[in-house]
Amino acid sequence: MVNIAVLVSGGGTNLQALIDSERSGKITAGKITLVVASNENAYALERAKKAGIETAVIRRKDYADQDACDRALVSCLKEKDIDMVILAGYLTILGETMIAAYRDRIINIHPSLIPSFCGKGFYGLRVHEAALERGVKVTGATVHLVNEIPDGGRILLQKAVEVREGDTPEILQRRVMEEAEWILLPKAAQMLAESLEEE
């Protein structure tokens, strides 16, 4: 069984989708054994506790630089025998130390069809605001492997979502979550965990 850590920063709706998928048997190759938050007030920590999953908080501001924060994160993950990492609304960019330690074992969900509306500065509502400003008729979500380039790793899965007349960034964000993110992330988690099990 592949041990999975989920990295979070906020409400944890994607984390909840993963927990629910594990419980319903959609994720069988891996088990979420740790949730790490970049912020001690993340509601995602409550979700993890309710599900009986161990938690940790590693805040960037508690460390001298990105590398020191990365080293603390890697050491926490290694201590818990973590095999793969899922970024689920994690707002801290990972540095080289962390990426090297888990090369091709970190996946991220991004709320657009990469290469549109992605990269540095595109996160949360900003992505949906940009999509609406551009006037696109279709948006969606992408799960990709994480490398040194923000949103630049190999794409694993994508799903398109229709943009509707009268959409606000908030309405669009919710639709993309419900119709794409919560479906793709558990699928990708199972895919990667299966491939790691075979190694």
Q: 48-81 burial by CB neighbour count: b if 16+ within 10 A, else e?
A: beebebebbebebeeeeebeebbbbbbebbeeee
Is residue 156 within 8 Å of residue 107, measured between CB atoms? yes
Query: Which tens digits make up the pLDDT trace of 33-66?
Result: 999 999 999 999 999 999 999 999 999 999 999 9
Q: Amino acid identity of 51?
A: A
128 catalytic, yes or no?
Answer: no
Fold of the 2-198 domain: Rossmann fold (3.40.50)
| Structural domain boundaries in the chain | 2-198
Query: Which tens digits make up the pLDDT trace of 143-191?
Result: 999 999 999 999 999 999 999 999 999 999 999 999 999 999 999 999 9
pTM to 2 decimals? 0.95
d(CA 39, CA 34): 15
Residue with tokens 């709706």: 13
Kindly state the tokens that stand for 18: 């993963």
Kindly state the tokens that stand for 40: 């001690």
The residue from 110, 128, 144, 175 that is catalytic is: 110
Question: DSSP per residue over 103-141, as a string?
Answer: TT-EEEEESS-TTTT-STT--THHHHHHHHHHT-SEEEE
